[in-house]
Structure 1
Amino acid sequence: MKVAFYGSSLLSSYWNGAATYYRGIISDLYRRGYDVTFYEPDAFGRQQHRDIDPPDWARVVVYPATAAALKDVVAEAAGADVVVKASGVGVFDTELLAGVIAAARPDAIRIFWDVDAPATLAELREAPDHPLHAALPRLDLVFTYGGGPPVVAAYEAFGAQRCVPVYNALDPATHHPVPAEPRFAADLSFLGNRLPDREARVEEFFLRAAALSPNRSFLIGGNGWHDRAMPANVRSLGHVYTREHNAFNTSPLAVLNIARDSMASVGYSPATRVFEAAGAGACLITDAWVGLGEFLAENEEVLVARDGADVADHVANLTPERARTIGEAARIRILRDHTYARRGGEVDAILRSLRDAKPRAAA
C-alpha cells in the first residue's frame, strides 16, 4: 500500500520527540511492503539539526512552510492508499487536516495519528469549534501514541469511528548497549525538552532530587534548559542527537523518565525515552503513572518514584550491580514484548483489515 504521511519531522528530533517513534513505525512498515512518503515542513530549525539523512525505507519531502507549498503537498494525498495526518506538525495543522481529508480518494484509508492525545483531547473539550470535531466522523481511524482505555473512550465519545493506541517501542538496531562515554557520566541523567507542561515535574523529580543529593552528579539534556537556574551539581548539555542517545543512557548510574502533566494524569503513555533507555540496558527510574506495569515491572525492571525525595533515595541506595541487574531485566522485557516489529505488525493488520472492508463499505 502507498502511504502519504504528514508529520512534524522524520529526519530531525530537534524539538520533535516523536521522531524516533515515526522512524520505528515507518521503517517496519517498509519491511512489510509499504511505500511511505513522509511530508515535513522546513520549520523550527529542524532541517539544520538533522539526526539522519533521508533513509532508504521512506521517501521524505521537505516543503517550505508556505501556503503555496502546502497546497502542492496536500494534492499528493490523492495518489495514496493510506493518508495519515499526524498531530503537532506545527505549521498549517488545521489546513493540513482539512486538505488531506478532502484530497484523499474515496477508497483511501484516512487516519489521524495523535502523538499527544491527552493534550489534543483537552483542546477538544475546551473548544467546541476545534476543526478535529468536524473531521473525526470522516476519518476511518485514530491512532494514538498512547493513552490506553481513557484515551480510546474519549476519542470514541467525540465521534471517532475507531481509536487504537500504538505505543512507543524499541528499534534494537538503533538503541542498544554501547560503551560508556565520560562526557555523559553522572549518577542520574534526564533527557527531555523544556515544555510548559513538563517543567513543574522536572522541578520536583529531577531538580529537587539533585538539591537533596549534593554529593551526587546530575546531567540534563534537551532544548530550553540553558537559562534555567539549577543546583550546582547539575550539568546541562543542550540538544542531544539521536545518535548520542545510547551513550547518554549507558554512561550514568541511572536514567530518569519524567512524564508530562497530561501524560501522567491519563496514564498508559510511556515516552520514547523509556524504551530507548531500556533497550540500552540502562537502569530506569520513572515517575509513577497508570499502566506502567503493562510495560515494566516495578522494582524488577524499573524503579518508581512518587516525588523528588523518592528519586534521591533511589540514587542513594543504588549500587552499580543493582543498576545493571535492573537494566538488563528491562532490556530483556522490552526486546520480548515491545519492539517496533510488534507495533508494525499491529498497524499492518489493522490497515489490511480496513482496506479489505473498503469495497464492501462502498458497495
Structure 2
Amino acid sequence: MPNNHAKLSPSSSHRWLKCTKSVLLEAEFENKTSQAAEEGTAAHALCEHKLKKLLHKRSKRPVSIYDSDEMEEYTDAYADYVMEQLDLVKQTCQDPVLLIEQKVNFSQYVPDGYGTADCLIVSDETLHIIDFKYGLGVLVEAKDNSQLKCYALGSLALFEDLYDFQTVTMTIFQPRRENVCTWSIPVEQLKAWAETELKPKAEMALKGEGEYCPGEWCTFCKATVKCRARAEEKLKLAQAEFKMPPLLTDAEIEEILAILPDLTKWGNDILSYATDAAINHGKEWTGFKLVEGRSVRKYKDEESIVQAAKANGYTDIYRQSIITLTEMQKLMGKKKFDEVLGDLIVKPPGRPTLVPMTDKRPALNVTNANNEFNEIMED
C-alpha cells in the first residue's frame, strides 16, 4: 500500500474544504506517523489480503506487530461485508467488478489529486465505494463524506466511459465503533459539487487564500497545537464566567457538553506537544517540570522466575484459560460454532455513555440500561 499522500489528499479534504489556509500552515510542520496510524495501515493490509483470498487471488498474508484477535475479528467482518454487498449487486447485474485498493485520480478538479479507494464495486448503473476505518476515536459518517466523494470522482473518471452510472453509493465500515453507514448521491449532483465547491476551494487552498476556520475538522491537522485561530476559539470557554457547577443551568450544561470533547482533545494535544518538547528537545516550561510517572512491576525474565519459584517449592504458578471467541470460531468453523456454542455466547450491554444526538446508536431506556449493566457487573 502506498505511503505517499497528495498535498490536497482525499483524507484531509474535510479539513482544507473548511479551512483553506490550513494547507500552507501544515507545510510548516514535519510529517509524523502515530501508533494509531500504523495500526490502521496494518489492518488495511490484512483486509486487502483477506478479500484477495476470498476472490481466489494470490496474496501473501501480511505480518505486523499489531496483529491481534481483535484485528482478526474486525477485518473478517469487513471482508464478509464486502462479499455480501457483491452478492447483492449480482442479483441485478450479471458481471459486477470488485476492485481492491484501487488508485484513482481526480486531478481535473484538484491539482495533483489522487488517492487509493479501499474497495470499489462497479455495476451497470451504480458505483459502490466501501471505505474501511479502523480508528476508534472519531466516528466517521458516510453522508457528504468529502474523502469518499473524491474517490468517487476519480472512480468515475476511470469507468464512466464503460458504464452508464446514475448513482454513487458510499459506505463507511468502522467496526470498532459498530458503525456501518451508507449514503448515495446522483452522479450529476456529485459532479456539480465538484465544480462549485471542490475545485474552487482546492485552488484557494493551494494559494493560501481564505480564512482560518477552526472546528471539529482540526483534529488531525498538523498545526492544531500551535494554531492561534483554534486557540482563540477554545479559550472562549475559559473566558466565559460560568457559575460553580451546582448553580449551572441545564442550558449552560448543554452548551458545555457540546464543546467539551473538542476542548478536551485540544488540551490533551497541548499537553502532548509540551511534554514531547521537554523530553526530546530540552524545552523548559516556566512553572512545570518533568517527573517520573507511575510504572507497573513486571518480570525481568519469565524463565528465571519459573526456575527460582520451583527451586523454592512453589509449583502452582500457572494459569489456564479458554481460547478466545475468534480462535474458537476458526477452530470449529462459523456454522458449527453457531450450532454448538450459539446459545452459550452472550454480548453484555456496554456501559451507558452520553453522546450527541447525531450518534447513530439508538437511545437507551435509562432504567432498563442501568439495571442490565449493574446485573452484569454484579455477576
**TM-score in terms of structure 1 length:** 0.27
Higher helix content, 1 or 2: 2
Q: Looking at secondary structure, tell me which structure has more strand per residue.
A: 1
Structure label with greater radius of gyration:
2
The TM-score normalised by the length of structure 2 is 0.26
